[in-house]
Structure 1
């Protein structure tokens, strides 16, 4: 049978938790233009989707307000954009750094150079060179946490390890510690085996910070403690909070 033809990609839909935040991010990072006339609204006027025109992407990009799906896809590498060669990739690194946008280092992937940029919901936008890097297979960074897309096999609930960490911030250092913790959270969510890492602040005590974390197994949790971002946090925060933090391990019941 002959396959009916089509005219290519109409649009790409991405789930987001905050339409305005994600619109601003894609506008700043990729030069997107919001097509306000195509805003999607419910009969009561509630905005539920924004349409973007992004240079270099065929069709349009829809940002759909869908917090549950965005959360479930955290860490997924949904879109890879082509970049000519390493000098062009270096230009992207320079631009992202100038904007203060979190990104991976340049990675030796299977064929070309790879750069990974998490969006505000930790969906991974990737840049990949069309020109091969020409390096030996032994140089490929298979162990880079930026190459994974989260846990590939649903963990047995009896293997899952969770914990609650509590810290009391010394007066005058609240914002400094929160900034450190946001950096840790962004990096931790990229780690293999990380199921959740959520940062909270107590409503009745501005000095109290609570972290909930969940891991696919004890090895993943132990590896987290050996990461560079955790080492940096321990060195930076030990004089800013009552040290050490209180850690309470949890066991799943249902």
Structure 2
């Protein structure tokens, strides 16, 4: 099973915005929340990270999203490679795959 699916909409290697969707299995919301929270500060300190925010659906605990801004897709790829260990560890706690959507900034 793949760790995540990617909806790659960026046509270039410039500034990239990313939304990641992560759904915890029932009963594992707190464990996933803790893992993701721990990832925030290290991600923000990474080279090329312009912004990294962790969000949770107000009326659907365990449904998490990150909003990320990276200088380039290469910086994002390096971040994902570094986060792979945490993602493998979290895989059994997740409902489905982590979904990444890459977006170009239009305005």
Alignment partner, residue 159 of structure 1: 14
Does residue 207 of structure 1 match 2:67? no
Deviation at 1:249, TM superposition (A): 1.1
The aligned counterpart of 1:234 is 87
**Equivalent of 1:221 in 76, 94, 105:** 76
Alignment gaps of 5+ in structure 2: 1-12
SS of match in other structure, 2:58: coil
Listed one character per residue, the Cα deviations across residues 47-92 of structure 1 (whole Å, up to 9, x for unaligned) are xxxxxxxxxxxxxxxxxxxxxxxxxxxxxxxxxxxxxxxxxxxxxx
Higher relative CO (Cα under 8 Å, sequence separation at least 6) belongs to 2
Could you tell me the TM-score, scaled by structure 2's length?
0.83
Cα offset, 1:232, TM superposition: 2.2
The answer to whether the 8 Å contact 2:33/2:62 transfers is no
Residue 4 (structure 2) aligns with: none
Q: Provide TM-score, normalisation by structure 1.
A: 0.36
Matches within 5 A, 1:1-254: 159-227=14-82, 230-254=83-107
Return the structure number with greater helix share.
Answer: 2
Which of the pair has more CA radius of gyration?
Answer: 1
- In the alignment, structure 1 segments of 5+ residues that lack a partner are 1-157
- After TM superposition, the runs of 4+ consecutive aligned structure 1 residues lying more than 4 A away are none
